[in-house]
Amino acid sequence: MLDGARRSRELSALSGSEPIDLLVVGGGITGAGVALDAASRGLRVVLVERRDLASGTSRWSSKLAHGGLRYIVAGQIGVAWESAVERNRLFRHIAPHLVQPMTFVIPAPPAVRTQERLLGRVGMGIADTLRAASRTPAVLPPTRWVGGEQMRTLLPMLQQRREAALHVDGALEDDARLVVAIARTAASYGATILTHCSARDLHATGGTIVDELTGETTDVDARCVVVAAGVWSGGLVADVPLQPSKGAHLLLRAESLDSPSCAFNIIVPGTRNRYVFAVPRPDGTVQVGLTDDAVDAIDDEPEVTLTDEKFLLGTLSSGLTREVTPADVVGRFAGLRPLLRSSDERNPADLSRRHALLDRDGVLVIVGGKLTTYRAMAEDTVDRVVQRLGCGGACATRTLPLVGAGRVADAASLPPRLVRRFGAEAAQVAACGPAEPVAVGLPMLKCEVGWALAGECAVTVDDVERRLRLDLVPAWRAAARGYIEEVVDGSVR
Ligand X SMILES: Cc1cc2nc3c(=O)[nH]c(=O)nc-3n(C[C@H](O)[C@H](O)[C@H](O)COP(=O)(O)OP(=O)(O)OC[C@H]3O[C@@H](n4cnc5c(N)ncnc54)[C@H](O)[C@@H]3O)c2cc1C
- Give the total of residues touching ligand X (CB under 6 A): 38
- Least distance in Å: CB of 430 to ligand X? 29
Contact segment (CB under 6 A) with ligand X among 16-24, 26-34, 316-324, 463-471 equals: 26-34
Return the residue of 23, 48, 164, 418 that touches ligand X, per CB under 6 A: 48
C-alpha to C-alpha distance for 149 and 491, rounded to whole angstroms: 57
Specify the long-range contacts of residues 417-425, CB closer than 8 Å, at least 24 apart: 417/282, 417/443, 417/444, 417/445, 418/445, 418/447, 418/448, 419/97, 420/97, 420/173, 420/282, 421/98, 421/173, 421/174, 421/177, 421/448, 422/97, 422/451, 423/96, 423/97, 423/98, 424/97
Binds ligand X (CB under 6 A): choice among 71, 91, 104, 232:
232
CB of 156 to ligand X, least distance (A): 27
Contact 446, 436 (CB under 8 A): yes
Determine, following the binding rule CB under 6 A, whether residue 50 of this chain makes contact with ligand X. yes
Applying CB under 6 A, which part among 42-50, 428-436, 457-465, 480-488 lies near ligand X?
42-50
Q: Does 466 bind ligand X (CB under 6 A)?
A: no
Question: Helical H runs in 220-346?
Answer: 306-318
User: Can residue 64 be called a binding residue for ligand X (CB under 6 A)?
Assistant: yes
Is the Cβ of residue 247 or residue 423 nearer to ligand X in the bound state? 247
**CB closer to ligand X out of 121 and 360:** 360
Residues 322-351 that bind ligand X (CB under 6 A): 335-338
104 lies in the site for ligand X, by CB under 6 A? no
Q: CA–CA separation, 293 vs 270, rounded Å?
A: 18
Closest CB to ligand X among 26 and 280?
A: 26
Work out whether 23 is an interface residue with ligand X (CB under 6 A): no
Q: Closest separation between CB of residue 328 and ligand X, Å?
A: 20
Q: Smallest gap, in angstroms, from Cβ of residue 432 to ligand X? A: 25
Neighbouring-strand partners of residue 192: 46
CB of 176 to ligand X, least distance (A): 9
Of the two residues 60 and 479, which places its CB atom closer to ligand X in the complex?
60
Q: Which is nearer to ligand X, 364 or 442 (CB)?
A: 364
Q: Would you count residue 352 as binding ligand X (CB under 6 A)?
A: no
Of 276, 371, 378, 459, which one interacts with ligand X (CB under 6 A)?
Answer: 371
41 touching ligand X, by CB under 6 A: no
Give the C-alpha separation, 332 to 303, whole Å: 8
d(CA 414, CA 257): 30
Among 35, 36, 39, 60, indicate the residue that binds ligand X (CB under 6 A): 60
Q: Pick the binder of ligand X from 2, 20, 24, 31 (CB under 6 A).
A: 31
CA distance 382 to 361: 18
| Residue selected from 199, 266, 438, 458 as contacting ligand X according to rule CB under 6 A | 199
First-to-last C-alpha distance (Å) of the chain: 17
Backbone phi and psi for residue 176, each to the nearest 5 degrees, phi listed first: -65, -35
Q: Long-range contacts made by residues 205-214, C-beta under 8 angstroms, separation at least 24?
A: 205/19, 205/362, 206/19, 206/23, 207/23, 207/25, 209/11, 209/14, 209/48, 211/11, 212/50, 212/51, 213/459
SS (H, E, C) 343-367: CCCCCHHHCECCEEEEEECCEEEEE
Residue 143 interacts with ligand X (CB under 6 A)?
no
Task: Give the separation between CA 483 and CA 33, rounded to whole angstroms.
Answer: 33
**Could you list the residues that contact ligand X (CB under 6 A)?**
25-31, 48-51, 55-58, 60-64, 66, 198-199, 228-230, 232, 236, 247, 290, 335-338, 369-372
